[in-house]
Structure 1
């Protein structure tokens, strides 16, 4: 156990042994309304902004109430760090979210807990290892080049590039490519049925995540039947790809030693006699990885493009860095170049601080515990901000509303308390750190470096303000940025 959190399976008499000075009832929080509590305040596409504003009003730990169920929001940095480190032993994901995801066959390592999680984590991390990503790097470059060529042709025709759509399409191409070895080419043609089915799943996950009542367990609306069909079709597609991949690996034995995508790596791991992995584990983790890798990375790049276009000085610095690293070529072709883009790294970190795709994580206490000197009973729902706590605190990040990549660049490694990387948690933390983190970082570098090397950014000042829209992940309402080809 970490020093900030004491937890154990306790009976009521043993609960008194925990040391604390307050309970949930002692915490401040916004007023609710009869029956609903604060539930209606947490609906809509900007509920994360509401919770963030409450941090400013009520402090680093406050309470909410949803239909009589207490919720605690904790933004204290030390407490968050300990909470994340104590997963999965002491805290787990919200059971409601896990159930909703599993109902649509989006489970795997994201919804697994305990020993099942440890087994599946090994499966997924092997499929997203540095070596697998390195082997996939040329394909990622090819897919990005295809998007750049499309954009240049669009601009040559005097048309405007739909950045939001195309960035999501590219993210889908890349994650399906590395997860299952399949080239959708959604960038060039978005009519592929797998794209439709995945979009359908994401929409229903978002809708069900904010639903006041799980009505679909009693009766199905047409949209629910359509989502069920999409879930079935995605599952069947993945099963077919598993079969095709296994046959290809029989014909090309070297793939077992040097897998080129996540599915190949997972198949190798699953065939270990001691692994106890099933085809259903392969299916659920392949689907979950695809769902988790589309909007998160696409939204991060979209937010970065928005912020760079509104901050020309930062865009100029990034362009100069990319030009120096890539030289005469227009697209990164060398893996080692990924280590030579510190300002791009800093711009991404600053984007995550301001606009994380997963601004809050939901946890459930598995035992009575004390967090931030507050007694929390077993089953307590806890929300923690990944970046919307210290990341938007003026004392931690002066001029916190401004986009300043320089915050993340140092001549010498900063002391622990001054390191900005220890103040925000965009990829989670502890054992359950996002398994796709390294892939996301490489994808951002490849795509953003290609954009800055080939295009100039111009923010459309006549466009409506860009809103933070929370569905299953948080993304921009639009990307009002015009591209101009660089000569």
Structure 2
């Protein structure tokens, strides 16, 4: 699981402007290009290996599409800073998400972006979280009870599954005001349908041609059925939330869906863009929050577990800090107390640096432009692979060492470049859900380490990467030893 990526080369600085065809890259075949070589479930590592072999930027062809791949965080910062004027979401991301009706703010471009951004930022404003915290704590208590029971039975626990259950229940409760209790009841029907969406998204994103526009394979028909079920479910929730608001117009929002509907109503009264804040846009944003929030947070937490299992001294230090501040509480009882648990979040941040859950970002120029000495046309895709910059010694001191304190302590003369860490994006499109992720990470890790010693129940190299929009572990089996 230790990264073996070489130090990325210096950015191309020649004054000569190169065409995409001038760049090195792996040899492809007619029509398909390099698409036949790419396994969507392992795409991040394949791109990094090609970068190590050919240097960056290098070129690929995905069917008719020209692709240029970078690993310099300076290029990534420019790409994100220049959205939406010079660049937009890359390739067919927006097309695929819009076809699935789950694009929302993530895929919005141009005039549609700003009103949706305001609506989502208002719904995810940190001032709402003290009111949301009791719900999150109730679900964390449920997680503790379940893990305590499995620990008493001396069972091997797939912690990835338990963490996913926690994030699903939390995001559903906050987004819809409906707690599905997947930890105890098992995945409900809607959750089973949601699991089909992101793997198909990755397959369609990297497919050489959008074949599903002309004919449907069984997997495409299964996806369509799943999307119909999910969207019907969300429409019912929207109607219910609107009725609750009409019945109690002076009552503050109790979930994110109500917050979005109130923002919609306010924007309509002010003469805002009705299409950008339509029920379709709200449904897409709620689903994006559910899908992305569940995956990103659960997978980030899961990848931190092997690092903690390999550092028992750090586990003990965190346990002492949690028990000192929390006293007899098995789950943090005070929202304000979470601000004292910076080291817990730093553990997850450092784990993301070494094992990114967002492996690649993609962009398309809005017009012919030059990026890092390469001329890109609007039919090109610019990919940024996030891993190499985060293990580059010029960005982070002793880059392969797991050192959470590097995020908390300013060390003069020691390399630490936070701009190379882009797991939540940057610029005007920085992730609006990062504060929610922070609260969940602190709440879950304090619950785990306050109450259990964690031991990995498999060899670290038995845990494989799976690219399903985010980079998730194939498994995370552990044994939990109670702290008495």
- Tell me if structure 2 keeps the 8 A contact 1:178–1:261: yes
Looking at structure 2, the residues matched to 228 and 174 of structure 1 have their Cα atoms a distance apart, in angstroms, of 26
Single out whichever of 58-67 and 270-279 deviates more from structure 2. 58-67
> Which residue of structure 2 aligns with residue 50 of structure 1?
46
Partner residue of 1:266 out of 260, 264, 267: 260
> Which residue of structure 2 aligns with residue 211 of structure 1?
207
> Which residue of structure 2 aligns with residue 103 of structure 1?
99
> Which residue of structure 1 aligns with residue 354 of structure 2?
354
Looking at structure 2, the residues matched to 175 and 375 of structure 1 have their Cα atoms a distance apart, in angstroms, of 42
Looking at structure 2, the residues matched to 30 and 215 of structure 1 have their Cα atoms a distance apart, in angstroms, of 24
Correspondence list, 1:51-450, <5 A: 51-255=47-251, 258-272=252-266, 273=269, 274-275=271-272, 276=274, 277-386=277-386, 388-411=387-410, 418-450=415-447
3-state SS of the aligned residue for 1:381? strand
- Higher relative contact order (CA closer than 8 Å, sequence separation 6+): 2
Q: Deviations over 1:104-141 (max 9, x none)?
A: 22121111110101121111111111122332111111
Looking at structure 1, the residues matched to 227 and 78 of structure 2 have their Cα atoms a distance apart, in angstroms, of 36
Looking at structure 2, the residues matched to 163 and 455 of structure 1 have their Cα atoms a distance apart, in angstroms, of 13
The number of residues matched between the two structures is 466
1:371 and 1:447, CA in 2 relative to 1: closer, same or farther beyond 3 A? Answer: same
Single out whichever of 34-43 and 259-268 deviates more from structure 2. 34-43
- Tell me if structure 2 keeps the 8 A contact 1:133–1:178: no
Gaps of 5+ in 2: 1-10
Looking at structure 1, the residues matched to 318 and 75 of structure 2 have their Cα atoms a distance apart, in angstroms, of 35
> Which residue of structure 2 aligns with residue 457 of structure 1?
454
- Tell me if structure 2 keeps the 8 A contact 1:179–1:290: yes
For the pair 1:478 / 2:475, whether they are aligned, the reply is: yes
Aligned-pair CA distance for 1:197: 1.8
> Which residue of structure 1 aligns with residue 7 of structure 2?
none
Q: Deviations over 1:303-346 (max 9, x none)?
A: 01122112323323322332233233211121222211121122
- Tell me if structure 2 keeps the 8 A contact 1:306–1:481: no
1:325 and 1:29, CA in 2 relative to 1: closer, same or farther beyond 3 A? Answer: farther
3-state SS of the aligned residue for 1:243? helix
Partner residue of 1:32 out of 25, 28, 34: 28
- Tell me if structure 2 keeps the 8 A contact 1:167–1:298: yes
3-state SS of the aligned residue for 1:475? strand
Aligned-pair CA distance for 1:281: 1.6
1:69 and 1:233, CA in 2 relative to 1: closer, same or farther beyond 3 A? Answer: closer
> Which residue of structure 2 aligns with residue 12 of structure 1?
none
Aligned-pair CA distance for 1:398: 4.2
Looking at structure 1, the residues matched to 40 and 91 of structure 2 have their Cα atoms a distance apart, in angstroms, of 21
- Tell me if structure 1 keeps the 8 A contact 2:196–2:226: yes
3-state SS of the aligned residue for 2:182? coil
3-state SS of the aligned residue for 1:45? helix
- Tell me if structure 2 keeps the 8 A contact 1:306–1:480: no
TM-score by length of 2: 0.90
Single out whichever of 264-273 and 322-331 deviates more from structure 2. 322-331
- Tell me if structure 1 keeps the 8 A contact 2:394–2:415: no
For the pair 1:22 / 2:21, whether they are aligned, the reply is: no
Aligned-pair CA distance for 1:284: 1.4
Looking at structure 2, the residues matched to 218 and 56 of structure 1 have their Cα atoms a distance apart, in angstroms, of 37
- Tell me if structure 1 keeps the 8 A contact 2:155–2:479: no
Looking at structure 2, the residues matched to 463 and 332 of structure 1 have their Cα atoms a distance apart, in angstroms, of 30
Looking at structure 2, the residues matched to 146 and 480 of structure 1 have their Cα atoms a distance apart, in angstroms, of 20
Aligned-pair CA distance for 1:166: 1.4
Looking at structure 2, the residues matched to 249 and 270 of structure 1 have their Cα atoms a distance apart, in angstroms, of 12
Aligned-pair CA distance for 1:260: 2.4
Single out whichever of 366-375 and 169-178 deviates more from structure 2. 366-375
Single out whichever of 334-343 and 396-405 deviates more from structure 2. 396-405
TM-score by length of 1: 0.90
Q: Deviations over 1:146-176 (max 9, x none)?
A: 0110111222234332212111111111111
> Which residue of structure 1 aligns with residue 6 of structure 2?
none
Looking at structure 1, the residues matched to 204 and 73 of structure 2 have their Cα atoms a distance apart, in angstroms, of 30
1:32 and 1:392, CA in 2 relative to 1: closer, same or farther beyond 3 A? Answer: farther
Gaps of 5+ in 1: 5-18
Looking at structure 2, the residues matched to 341 and 225 of structure 1 have their Cα atoms a distance apart, in angstroms, of 46
Single out whichever of 371-380 and 88-97 deviates more from structure 2. 371-380
